[in-house]
């Protein structure tokens, strides 16, 4: 099948719309016509070489659309079904079998390997294999090949072109609150970064009825948005030492903190903002893969601090994405307030706009 895809030829290079060939689906594969695809920091981190992926290649991992073809072994979905796409997992390892696919032993190979398990690519440009299967989909395209493990069937009334971010950024932020840290009603939460992941955590904090939600964000418009979504306080990091500002709001320190920045100085200030038996969740991807967090051992012991890495909000997408859609349908999780849509053809302009802070989450839609 000839499709249009946004191809990156070199590290840090632009997205070039090219006509490429999408292979026929293998027995266990699914072809999805993409309605919309979220633009995520992880796409750009991989493009820039901070995460592994072979180039030239096609990124995109927050796709949604309609199934158009399935392989002979596929039973989960059928042509015509509306689906959201998410990360891939093996389904066989101990983590997958216990409902924790975000920690699949094959996560890196399946999501960043750039090829099928047999080494072949699902995408070719002028006869040359492209890096494909990014997060099991490579959905910066008009069509993508996915798998039963990373497609989630959604109801007909779901906002199809907008729901792609539920497959990564939104489920990561919301899952951090509802799953990973399991923030309890009445507790306090510090959110470092007011992007789509951080603000999804704010939405989840409102669902869970937390008493105090503090968002740290340099952009004034995002601080205002955070307050409209349920944050009780916002902090401008330029206004003074972060931990002092937080403790002026929560003198005994916060119960939970979520970092979406991946910046060590910010994480150090988060550590200084924690209270007794608190939990710090690390989500942000650092620019330096060797970045490390110094931890004061006495502080960690005295407070009983837990520091945990979080991938995809510890979610099982087949369970969690329908849950988020149910919350959205009832008006309790308005994730669409985070989204700005732009035509897929304007992908490079969208990247620049998102990097300038002009939009929280851009979803690229096909006309």
Query: Which whole-number Å values give the CA distances from 209 to 86, 89, 290, 300, in the listed order?
Result: 27, 32, 37, 27
- Kindly state whether residues 145 and 218 are assigned to the same domain: no
Asked if the structure places residue 326 within a domain, the reply is no
Asked if the structure places residue 121 within a domain, the reply is yes
How many percent of the chain have pLDDT more than 70? 100
Count up the domains in the chain and report the number.
2
pLDDT in tens, 324-364: 999 999 999 999 999 999 999 999 999 999 888 899 999 99
- Kindly state whether residues 250 and 162 are assigned to the same domain: no
**What average pLDDT does the segment 17-26 reach?**
97
pLDDT in tens, 168-187: 999 999 999 999 999 999 99
- Kindly state whether residues 24 and 119 are assigned to the same domain: yes
- Kindly state whether residues 22 and 158 are assigned to the same domain: yes
- Kindly state whether residues 79 and 31 are assigned to the same domain: yes
- Kindly state whether residues 106 and 226 are assigned to the same domain: no
- Kindly state whether residues 158 and 259 are assigned to the same domain: no
**Helix-strand-coil percent breakdown of the chain, rounded to 5?**
35, 25, 40
Supply the pLDDT for residue 355: 87
pLDDT in tens, 280-318: 999 998 888 889 999 999 999 999 999 999 999 999 999
Q: The domain spanning residue 307 has which CATH number?
A: 3.40.50.720
Question: What radius of gyration, in Å, describes the C-alpha atoms of the chain?
Answer: 20
**Which domain, by its residues, includes 304?**
173-311
The DSSP letter of residue 82 is E
Asked if the structure places residue 177 within a domain, the reply is yes
Of 166, 226, 172, 167, the residue nearest 194 (C-alpha): 226
> DSSP 3-state assignment of 255?
strand
Supply the pLDDT for residue 285: 85
Supply the pLDDT for residue 136: 97
- Kindly state whether residues 13 and 161 are assigned to the same domain: yes
- Kindly state whether residues 264 and 200 are assigned to the same domain: yes
**What average pLDDT does the segment 218-222 reach?**
96
**What average pLDDT does the segment 92-109 reach?**
97
- Kindly state whether residues 93 and 221 are assigned to the same domain: no
Domain boundary among 296, 311, 326: 311
- Kindly state whether residues 128 and 201 are assigned to the same domain: no
Supply the pLDDT for residue 24: 96
- Kindly state whether residues 18 and 151 are assigned to the same domain: yes
Q: How far apart are CA 271 and CA 278, in angstroms?
A: 10
Supply the pLDDT for residue 345: 97
């Amino acid at each position: 099948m000839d499709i249009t895809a946004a191809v990156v030829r070199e590290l840090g290079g632009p997205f070039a719309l090219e006509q490429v060939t999408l292979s026929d689906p293998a027995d266990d594969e699914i072809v999805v016509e993409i309605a919309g695809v979220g633009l995520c920091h992880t796409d750009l981190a991989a493009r820039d070489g901070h995460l592994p992926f072979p180039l030239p290649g096609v990124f995109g991992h927050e796709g949604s659309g309609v199934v158009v073809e399935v392989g002979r072994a596929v039973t989960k979905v059928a042509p015509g079904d509306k689906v959201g796409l998410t990360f891939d997992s093996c389904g066989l390892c101990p983590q997958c079998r216990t409902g924790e696919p975000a920690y699949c032993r094959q996560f890196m190979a399946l999501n960043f390997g750039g090829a099928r398990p047999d080494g072949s690519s699902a995408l070719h440009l002028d006869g040359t294999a492209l890096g494909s299967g990014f997060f099991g989909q490579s959905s910066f395209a008009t069509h993508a090949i996915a798998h039963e493990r990373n497609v989630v069937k959604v109801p007909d009334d779901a906002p199809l072109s907008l729901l792609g971010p539920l497959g990564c950024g939104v489920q990561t932020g919301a899952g951090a609150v509802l799953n990973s840290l399991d923030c309890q009603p009445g507790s306090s939460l510090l959110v470092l970064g007011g992007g789509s992941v951080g603000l999804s955590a704010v939405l989840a904090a409102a669902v869970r009825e937390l008493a105090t939600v503090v968002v740290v964000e340099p952009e004034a418009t995002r601080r205002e948005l955070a307050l409209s979504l349920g944050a009780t306080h916002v902090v401008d990091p330029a206004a003074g030492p972060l931990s002092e500002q937080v403790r002026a709001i929560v003198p005994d320190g916060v119960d939970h903190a979520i970092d979406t920045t991946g910046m060590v100085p910010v994480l150090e200030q988060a550590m200084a903002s924690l209270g007794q038996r608190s939990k710090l969740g690390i989500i942000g991807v650092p620019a330096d893969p060797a970045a490390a967090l110094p931890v004061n051992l006495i502080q960690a012991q005295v407070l009983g601090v837990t520091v945990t890495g979080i991938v995809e909000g510890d979610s099982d997408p087949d369970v969690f994405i329908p849950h988020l859609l149910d919350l959205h349908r009832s008006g309790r999780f308005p994730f669409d307030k985070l989204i700005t849509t732009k035509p897929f053809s304007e992908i490079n302009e969208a990247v620049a706009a998102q990097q300038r802070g002009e939009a929280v989450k851009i979803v690229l839609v096909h006309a």
